[in-house]
Amino acid sequence: MSVADNLAEIRNRIARAERIAGRAAGSVTLVAVSKTFAAEEIRPAIASGQRVFGENRVQEAKAKWPALRAETADVELHLIGPLQSNKAAEAVELFDVIHTVDRDKIAAALAAEMTKQGRRLRLFVQVNTGLEAQKAGIDPREAVAFVARCREVHGLAVEGLMCIPPVEDAPGPHFALLAKMAREAGVVGLSMGMSSDFETAIDLGATHVRVGSAIFGVRPKIGS
């Protein structure tokens, strides 16, 4: 199966999941996760019409995407991996959407950089729904208050919430919890669902699904 075939199949499955959930066609955005794949492996996806891509590392994105963007102007780039505040300037320069705002220090750094660069990025707050020690994301008990602080203290518009459920858990309860918190926080975006569970996520309200291996193939272990 080629990248183009894989993409066509994922788009069909997204459309079917939208229908089954009674949601409008096109209400779910596919973020094609191209981390670890080189520019020549990403070009076929762009050629078959994909415009929204996700990367998890600032340095890797910086090495690949300026050239790809120069070839295709309307690409939209999403940061889906953890962000350090010393990379905020580069992240604001490179990305259009950040899914991983999870603490005040990052919110403040992004707000300052966006003002400085005159760019307004779209932002999601990452929630650590499984309370995993090794995983980024704000504690779910603090998520609603943090979204409010992003607005009121940092002057940031938050579009939605993002989560990565623990690998050993059924994802549904995590997606349902994220949807509930989004309603409480008054945000509409839900970035949830990956290759193995995006249909469940769509059923529970995902607006953005982040799909990598089902499009580009198995990643090498390092950096995955």
Ligand X SMILES: *Cc1c(COP(=O)(O)O)cnc(C)c1O
Q: Which residues bind ligand X (CB under 6 A)?
A: 33, 35, 56, 80-81, 164, 194-196, 210-214
To ligand X, the closest distance from the beta carbon of 28 in angstroms equals 14
Cβ–Cβ < 8 Å for 80, 58: no
Distances (CA, A) of 190 to 14, 58, 99, 204: 15, 22, 10, 9
To ligand X, the closest distance from the beta carbon of 57 in angstroms equals 10
Cβ–Cβ < 8 Å for 88, 66: no
To ligand X, the closest distance from the beta carbon of 39 in angstroms equals 18
Beta strands in 39-176 (DSSP E): 52-55, 76-79, 97-101, 122-126, 158-162
Q: In whole angstroms, give the CA distance from residue 72 to residue 129.
A: 36
Q: What's the full length of the chain, in residues?
A: 224
Closest CB to ligand X among residues 46, 206:
206
Q: Which residue is nearest to ligand X (CB)?
A: 212
Cβ–Cβ < 8 Å for 87, 108: no
Closest CB to ligand X among residues 36, 158:
36
To ligand X, the closest distance from the beta carbon of 153 in angstroms equals 26
Closest CB to ligand X among residues 81, 140:
81
Closest CB to ligand X among residues 29, 56:
56
Residue in the block written with tokens 């929630």: 127
Closest CB to ligand X among residues 22, 129:
129
To ligand X, the closest distance from the beta carbon of 224 in angstroms equals 7
Residue in the block written with tokens 């349902």: 176
Q: In whole angstroms, give the CA distance from residue 51 to residue 213.
A: 17
Q: In whole angstroms, give the CA distance from residue 63 to residue 82.
A: 18
Closest CB to ligand X among residues 6, 205:
6
To ligand X, the closest distance from the beta carbon of 170 in angstroms equals 16
